[in-house]
């Protein structure tokens, strides 16, 4: 019986490096040599891990193309489903898309796939506030909005529509969304000082307090987006600032009072229902259940700028000097406590560093 192994194959052109499943290192290298047109002996294969028993049968069931004549699915490239079952985690680091496996980061994705031509160009990655502002100044046109993400690979969709993470299991999606909002209205009434005037305002309020909705948060201030890109401490993951130009007028939330009837992405400016929306210069996009590319305006545009995982800690200090911190983004006692905690955590860290004797 074959003992399949996972190999990391390095090619003469680094953008072709990849995972391969084979029995021997030479067999793994030859797969990439034939697949990418390299001369025999041009690639080198490094053993990474043995394939657990039973995975061959899973591979037979999951393959979308014919298996080999002898009835086995390998040798072949290491597919995403296999890498995930092997414990790999897809990440982006310093602008490169790859996999973290057994404590090592492998970047098999080509720069062409991730960042466009020419692949020789170094990908743009934000490492300072100045780099972000310089990029913002290159944007053409008006009314750009921004969103910060702790992980650049996170899906750019509202929580309620986010694939497997969707909060709705029912096939009648819109009815389920309406029911969620209806329950929120009934239970929230004793706690609101200002009664929302329509379903748009109810959605804004529900989103603000954590209910899954078809809204996605944005801001008109790129520094606020950067704050959220570096706020969460996700180890070893590039964050991102997304810049988006809607290309159509802002949706009139007063005249169109049914947010569940939209058939295209709309940009909405909420009324000032909370200090947090004001502090974060908040706006929202409102999504239909399925986004039809034909409904997207030709004037719309979007760019994704990775934020280096190596620079997140350093970047966190820079917006604070410009007045953007937990206290200003989250007005109230929670924000004040976060500010106090962060300042004292840094003081304690600096004190520990200064206590280390020179030369150690």
Coil, strand or helix at 341: helix
Coil, strand or helix at 319: helix
| Unique residue bearing structure tokens 């061959």 | 56
Q: DSSP code of 251? A: B
* Exposure string over 319-341, b if 16+ CB within 10 A, otherwise e: bbeeebbbbbbbeeeebeebbee
Residue 24 · residue 6 · CB < 8 Å:
no
**Phi/psi of residue 166, nearest 5 degrees:** -60, 145
Give the bridge partners for 304, in sequence order: 242
Domain ranges of the chain: 5-115, 129-168+213-321
pLDDT at 130: 93
- The residue ranges of the chain whose pLDDT is under 50 are 109-120, 359-360
Kindly list the strands in the beta sheet with 104-106, ordered across the sheet, starting from the edge strand earlier in the chain. Answer: 89-93, 96-101, 104-106
Nearest to 72 by CA among 16, 27, 127: 27
Coil, strand or helix at 128: coil
pLDDT at 131: 94
| Beta-carbon contacts of residue 100 (< 8 Å; ≥ 6 apart) | 88, 89, 91, 106, 236
Cα–Cα distances (Å) from 330 to 281, 326, 334, in that order, read 12, 6, 7
Q: How many CB atoms lie within 10 A of CB 263?
A: 11
CA atoms lying within 13 Å on the CB side of residue 173? 15
pLDDT at 110: 43
Residue 291 · residue 158 · CB < 8 Å:
no
pLDDT at 223: 92
The secondary structure of 321-348, three-state, reads HCCCCHHHHCCCHHHHHHHHHHHHHHHH
Show the tokens assigned to 184.
Answer: 């929120």
Kind plus residue range of the DSSP H or E element containing 59: helix 55-62
To the nearest 10 degrees (0 to 180), the angle between helices 129-137 and 222-231 is 140
pLDDT at 215: 93
pLDDT at 73: 86
pLDDT at 320: 73
What is the distance between the alpha carbons of residues 30 and 21, in angstroms, rounded to a whole number? Answer: 11
pTM for this one? 0.69
pLDDT at 120: 44
Residue 266 · residue 285 · CB < 8 Å:
yes
Q: How many CB atoms lie within 10 A of CB 189?
A: 9
């Amino acid at each position: 019986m074959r003992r399949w192994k996972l190999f990391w194959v390095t090619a003469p052109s680094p953008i072709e490096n990849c995972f391969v499943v084979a029995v021997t290192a030479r067999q793994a290298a030859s797969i990439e040599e034939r697949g990418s047109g390299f001369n025999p002996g041009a690639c080198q294969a490094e053993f990474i891990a043995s394939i657990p028993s039973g995975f061959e049968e899973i591979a037979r069931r999951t393959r979308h193309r014919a298996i080999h004549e002898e009835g086995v699915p390998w040798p072949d490239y290491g597919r995403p489903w296999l890498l995930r079952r092997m414990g790999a985690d897809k990440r982006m680091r310093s602008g490169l898309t790859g996999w973290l496996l057994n404590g090592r980061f492998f970047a098999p994705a080509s720069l062409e796939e991730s960042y466009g031509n020419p692949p020789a160009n170094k990908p743009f990655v934000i490492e300072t506030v100045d780099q972000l502002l310089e990029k913002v100044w290159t944007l053409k046109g008006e009314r750009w909005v921004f969103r910060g993400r702790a992980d650049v690979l996170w899906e750019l969709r509202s929580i309620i529509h986010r694939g497997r993470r969707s909060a709705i299991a029912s096939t009648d999606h819109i009815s389920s969304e309406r029911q969620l909002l209806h329950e929120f209205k009934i239970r929230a009434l004793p706690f609101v000082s200002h009664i929302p005037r329509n379903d748009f305002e109810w959605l804004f309020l529900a989103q603000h307090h954590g209910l899954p909705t078809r809204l996605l948060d944005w801001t008109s201030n790129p520094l606020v987006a950067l704050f959220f890109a570096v706020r969460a401490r996700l180890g070893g993951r590039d964050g991102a600032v997304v810049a988006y130009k809607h290309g159509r007028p802002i949706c009139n939330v007063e005249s169109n009072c049914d947010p569940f009837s939209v058939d295209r992405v709309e940009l909405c400016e909420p009324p000032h229902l909370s200090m947090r929306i004001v502090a974060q210069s908040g706006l929202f996009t409102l999504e239909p259940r399925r986004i039809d590319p034909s409904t997207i305006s030709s004037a719309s545009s979007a760019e994704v700028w990775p934020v280096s995982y190596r620079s997140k800690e350093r970047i966190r200090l820079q917006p604070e000097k410009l007045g953007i911190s937990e206290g200003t983004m989250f007005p109230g006692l929670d924000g004040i406590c976060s500010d106090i905690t962060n300042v004292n955590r840094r003081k304690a860290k600096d004190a520990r560093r200064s206590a280390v004797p020179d030369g150690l």
